[in-house]
Amino acid sequence: MSKIDIETGYLNRANHFIDGRWQAADGQQRRELVNPYDESEFGSVALGTAEDVDAAVKAARAALPSWSALPRHQRAKWCYAIAEALKEKSELLARLESLNVGSPISFSRMAHAQVAVAITASYGEFLERGPHDEVIGNSRVVREPIGVVGAIAAWNYPLMLLLGKAIPAIAAGCTVVAKPSEVTPLTSMVVADVLQEVGLPAGVINIVNGDGPTVGEALVNHRGVDMVSFTGSTAVGRRIMANAATQVKKVALELGGKSATVVLDDAPLEQAVRGAVRGAYPNAGQTCIALSRLIVPGNLIDQALDIAADEAGRFVAGDPMDERTTLGPLAFAGHHQRVAEYIRLGQQEATLIAGGEGLPDGVERGFFVKPTVFGRVDPQARIAQEEIFGPVLSVIAAGSEEQAIDIANGTIYGLNGAVWSADPERAVRAARRMQCGKVDINGGGFNLDAPAGGFKQSGIGRERGHYALEEYMEVKSLQFADADLARASALE
């Protein structure tokens, strides 16, 4: 890992990216960074203060008038330029993300780096499609940027989540103050350097490192911030929503999940169960949309458990930088301890089918958890109700399709889901009854332009696609004397 340190110089920085340049931190506090694979300390990051946030918000407010007035096609060019510069650094970004989070390098290249670049470029395409103005009778309805956005990203997909907020916000004409997680800050530093390299106007995107209680709270409560976009736990999302409510400030929240795969009685069982296990373990299960519950017909439970155990056993734990590794460690010690406690709880609540306590075969240290399957889990058990955020799958038996849907909907969450059936129309009918923001049908793949977000306590608002642009805009009606004038008014 020292090679990364020498090559990049991103470690041990004492600065934040404010008003287009690296600036000295106001305070002296730092957080040590730990390699989740070997538990060694490899650097530290400065922790910001409320004063750093204030400086960043002032820079964003100063940049807002000129940026929001920029024509759409020019903002599109900036999106393309940032995407191209990030693409040139994609291997570096992937390696840093593997060091940050513990993700296997093959996964980091695809799910962290490539997806982040594609998201960034996609907003250039959306802007080029033209304005979203519409005429309703004698009114022209226009959309305008909401203002300064506070973007708070979670630690599990640091690069993708940061850009997934900042880029649609600036595409909409807003300016941004972003807070990456203090646990996984490395790729945000590369983003800041990219912004300098391409010459993005000062203050359009600012990045302040720091923890939630200090920097996060200061950002949410700052009167110069018009909107907060947050991805993270439901508990923190509730607090952000409560604080923002004191100023009636708009929030967009993508929160926790306890997503279910529903296998109907006519589904190809082996394909469905193997797909469900793979859907439970991406990024070592540190994924808000992880399919952490598998609901199968009761008469097929024994077969399903055998298949799930076999598929879980195919994951290879090891060095994230090794191309053969398919299961990396969890991101940090505190989270590893939390997941281990859930596994101990699961052994009291259900039948352990695969995995369990201790390190996986082939590793001697690190924040690893065995790919774990629990069988015959009660739908109301804690391991079936609470977000574990690790490679832990609960398999639940259902007596009917109706009961399966009820179980799938029977948590406080509603972020993701999956349905398997030999009859696509039946699968769609079941998917329509699931209370969640996205449903994969018979292994349906990721769609970059489709909206992502949750029902119930999984969040408010949507990310990705033109739906994200809408989140960062206010709607205004321009009333004309007659409909002809409304239609004839100038568009951007």
Residues 6+ apart with CB under 8 A from 472: 145, 146, 149, 168, 169, 171, 172, 173, 174, 227
Q: Are 274 and 306 in contact (CB under 8 A)?
A: no
Name the packing angle between helices 72-88 and 115-128 (round to 10°): 160
Take residue 254 and report the two structure tokens written for it. Answer: 């993508």
End-to-end CA distance of the chain: 49
Which is catalytic among the residues 97, 288, 401, 436?
288
Q: HSE on the CB side for 169, CA within 13 Å?
A: 31
- Residue 344: Cβ within 10 Å count: 10
Count how many residues are written for the chain: 492
Residues 6+ apart with CB under 8 A from 260: 291, 293, 294, 295, 407, 408, 417, 418, 434
Q: Are 100 and 158 in contact (CB under 8 A)?
A: yes
C-alpha of 426 from chain center: 30
Q: Are 274 and 305 in contact (CB under 8 A)?
A: no
Q: Are 170 and 206 in contact (CB under 8 A)?
A: no
Q: How far apart are CA 363 and CA 489, in angstroms?
A: 66
- Residue 427 vs residues 353, 394, 420: alpha-carbon distances, Å: 28, 22, 6
How would DSSP label each residue in 74-122? HHHHHHHHHHHHHHHTHHHHHHHHHHHH---HHHIIIIIIIHHHHHHHH
Dihedral sign, Cα of residue 18, residue 23, residue 28, residue 30: positive
Dihedral sign, Cα of residue 42, residue 48, residue 53, residue 55: negative
Which is catalytic among the residues 182, 254, 311, 463?
254
288 is catalytic: yes
Residue 444 Ramachandran class (φ > 0 left, ψ -120 to 50 alpha, else beta): beta
Supply φ then ψ for residue 286, to 5 degrees: -85, 60
Classify residue 32 by its DSSP letter.
Answer: E
C-alpha of 368 from chain center: 21
Task: Identify any residues that bridge with 139 across adjacent strands, giving them in sequence order.
Answer: 136, 479
Catalytic residue numbers read 254, 288
